[in-house]
Amino acid sequence: MERQEDQRRFDQAGGDPNLGLVNTASVAQVVSVNPEILGGTPCFAGTRVPVQALVDHLEQNSTLEEFLAGFPTVSRTQAVAFLKLSKESLLECVSS
């Protein structure tokens, strides 16, 4: 149920349900930091899954599908939005 709510919020924020991409997601819509959840470790919003888990899986040559299968509370839309925001932040950092 929570995963469906995440998908609905992302779709309302400009997501393309056919591609599973988010066009206008903000960091706050994708990542939450709460001292009460995992001691403030950045997690996917609405979950207890650290965003670092996705990075670690990709570094170990796991696919996005494998990550999502292992962490069913994270939606594909959330994961793709996180990767997109990460890419945009990195490109902005190295371009300035």
- What integer pLDDT is reported at residue 27 of this predicted model? 86
Positive or negative CA dihedral for 23, 20, 55, 31? positive
- What integer pLDDT is reported at residue 24 of this predicted model? 56
* Residue-wise pLDDT tens digits, 40-77: 999 999 999 999 999 999 999 999 999 999 999 999 99
- What integer pLDDT is reported at residue 14 of this predicted model? 45
Which of 46, 40, 96, 35 lies closest to 71, judged by CA?
A: 46
- What integer pLDDT is reported at residue 19 of this predicted model? 38
Its pTM stands at: 0.73
Per-chain mean pLDDT for the chain = 83
Q: Where are the domains of the chain?
A: 2-87
What CATH fold (topology level) applies to the domain 2-87?
Arc Repressor Mutant, subunit A (1.10.10)
Answer yes or no: is pLDDT of 10 > 70: no
